[in-house]
Structure formats: C-alpha cells, structure tokens
Amino acid sequence: AKAGGRNQYRLFDESMRNQREEELQLLSDLRDALRDGQIVPYYQPRYSATAQRTVAVEALARWIHPERGLIMPSDFIPIAEKSGLINQIGASMLEQVVRQRCAWERRGLDVSVSVNVSQRQLCEADFAAMVQRILHDNGCDPSRLELEVTETLLIEDNPVLSANLAKVRRLGIRIAIDDFGTGYSNLARLNEMSVDCIKIDRSLIQGLPRNEEIVRLVIAMCNFMQVTIVAEGIETLAEAEWAQRHGCHELQGYFYSRPVSAMEAECLMRGQAAL
Ligand code: C2E
Ligand code: CA
Ligand code: CA
Ligand code: CA
C-alpha cells in the first residue's frame, strides 16, 4: 500500500511537471504571437434600443494561430493574467482598437468602442498615461472609448488602481462595469465611483423570466444612478424584446451578432450581409 502511495505521488508530480511545462510552452508561444501580430480584436455589436442600430462595439481578443486557427480568450487570457503578459496584450488591444475606431470614422462610420481591462493593467502606475498617449497619437475623442472593468475591482482597495480609474475618467473616457450581478457588489462604492455604464451579466439575462424581479431591480438601480444599461448575452427575440421593454439602453449578444473580424463588423454596420 505504501509503495502504491509513493507511485501515486510520483504520478502526481509528473503530471504537475507536465502541466507546468505546457504552461511555459504556451506562454512562450503567446509572447511570439503577440510580437507577430497574431493577437487581434474581434468586435461584437452593441445595439442601441433607441437608435435601433449598432452604436458601439466591444473588442474581444482572438489569437489567430497560423496552424491551429482561431483561439479563444479562455485558452490564453488566464495564463496571460497569471504571468503579467496581460499588460502587453492589453496595451496592444487598446492600440489596435483605437486605431480601428479612427479608421472607421474616416470612412464615415460613427461607432464607439469598448475594451476589456484587467485588474493587473489598472494596477500599473503608467496605465492612464499610456491610454492618454494612444488616444492622442490617433486623434481619438476620449468619450468614444469605454473601458470595461469587472465589479470585483470596486471592492479592491488599491490606491494605484483608484488613481488610474479617476485619471481615465478625468480624461473623459467612459467606465463600464462588466458582468454585473455575478459577484459581490459594494453598492455604496459603486455609487461613489460614478461609473458610466453597467453591463448586466448574461447569466441574469438567460435566467429570464424566472428571475425577472431581480433584473428589474438592477435596472431600477441603474436608472437611479443614471448610467447606460447594457443587457449582455441576448440570444433570442424574446430576450431582446424583454430587455427593450424594460428599459435597457443597449443590447448585446448572439441574437444580434457573434464577435466578428473588423472587416465583418464594418459590413454588418453598413447594413450589408456578413462575408
Ligand atoms: P466578457 O468581457 O464578459 O465578454 C463577453 C463574452 O461573452 C465573449 O466571450 C462573447 O463572445 C460572449 N458572448 C457574447 N454574446 C453572447 C451570447 O449571446 N451568448 C453566449 N453564450 N456568449 C456570448 P469571449 O470572446 O470568449 O471572451 C471571454 C472573456 O475573455 C471576456 O468576457 C473577457 O473577460 C475576456 N477577454 C476577452 N478579450 C479580452 C481582452 O482583450 N482583455 C482582457 N483583459 N480580457 C479579455
Ligand atoms: Ca466585457
Ligand atoms: Ca461581460
Ligand atoms: Ca467576463
């Protein structure tokens, strides 16, 4: 029994080592991919209920791998977060997205952009300065950029993070709370921070109509705070109608479009069929 136990430990060690080696390989591949421009934003439309058109797009990172094809964020964002590479990925995403917005504007497409920002990025001392430089270099109106942060950031008591949030807001950049309703929210802090937008998490939308009261309560709170309300994860006509009827300002989800390449997003926005 003792020997068997030892064997099990050895197996466990080995699989741990393999996992570690795999992670290191992935991280090194990811570094190369970033350098080679394989990490690119895809865009998912945010449809305005009042304007009845796409007024904004959310940028979502994709790894365009020469052999393996399209790799989703769940397969590389966690390791990027863990290693700190997320700071470089995040900076590259911001740069590409702001540049794309300006290119669209020059071609007569008026659309705001939102970018996901990780906690680690917001804890970097020069984050706000970097965003400001990117906007300035591209001549981009700050009010057309929104940074999506998760609500867990609100309970973080990190002075660098708080200063960065205050700085970017002072620049006129919008702040959205992502995945709202999934974590513990400090409502007092939320109110204090005066965010511009709240994105109601997909899990709440997809629980409709069972949890209708909860979602109505969230919407009432958002209206009280006078923030833009986005319903995430809209997959059906029924969900789209419910969200519009209950006063969500923007709707986002597969019902409107999956995240697509910049070119396909442009086609969609011009009202043409996707390629
Ligand atoms: P998120 O920010 O909450 O983004 C929404 C996710 O839900 C996206 O997954 C999107 O494709 C998916 N989604 C949109 N509509 C629907 C729908 O109707 N039904 C369903 N089932 N899913 C829908 P994706 O692109 O795989 O991204 C996953 C997460 O990875 C994002 O969640 C975000 O947290 C993270 N992420 C993506 N890009 C970046 C990035 O550039 N930086 C950082 N820090 N995180 C990123
Ligand atoms: Ca998001
Ligand atoms: Ca979300
Ligand atoms: Ca998320």
Instruction: For 108-158, write each residue's pLDDT tens digit.
Output: 999 999 999 999 999 999 999 999 999 999 999 999 999 999 987 777 788
- CA-closest residue to ligand 1 atom 23: 233
Could you read off the pLDDT of 73-98 as tens digits, one per residue?
999 999 999 999 999 999 999 999 99
- CA-closest residue to ligand 1 atom 37: 60
**Long-range contacts of 83-86, Cβ-Cβ distance < 8 Å, separation of 24 or more:** 83/27, 84/120, 85/27, 85/30, 85/31, 85/34, 86/118, 86/120, 86/121
Which has the closest alpha carbon to 114: 148, 149, 89?
148
Distances (CA, A) of 189 to 25, 69, 130, 156, 196: 40, 42, 26, 10, 14
4 alpha carbon – ligand 2 mean position (Å): 47
Question: In the prediction, which pLDDT does 183 show?
Answer: 78
107 alpha carbon – ligand 3 mean position (Å): 29
Judge contact between 172 and 143, C-beta under 8 A: yes
User: How many other CB atoms are found less than 10 A from the CB of residue 69?
Assistant: 9
For the chain, list residues with pLDDT below 50: 1-2, 273-275
3-class secondary-structure state, position 182: coil
- CA-closest residue to ligand 1 atom 17: 233
Question: In the prediction, which pLDDT does 7 show?
Answer: 62
**Proportion of the chain in helix, strand, coil states, percent, rounded to 5:** 50, 20, 30
Burial class of residue 65 in the structure, from the number of CB atoms within 10 Å of its CB (0-12 exposed, 13-18 middle, 19+ buried): middle
State pTM to two decimals: 0.94
Mention every residue, 6+ apart, whose C-beta is less than 8 A from residue 264: 274, 275
| Residue from 58, 116, 205 to probe ligand 1 pocket by mutation (most atoms less than 8 Å from CB) | 116
| Least distant ligand from the CA of 146 | 2
DSSP label at 275? -
β-sheet bridge partners, residue 48: 53, 250
Question: In the prediction, which pLDDT does 268 show?
Answer: 95
3-class secondary-structure state, position 113: strand
- Complex ipTM > 0.95: yes
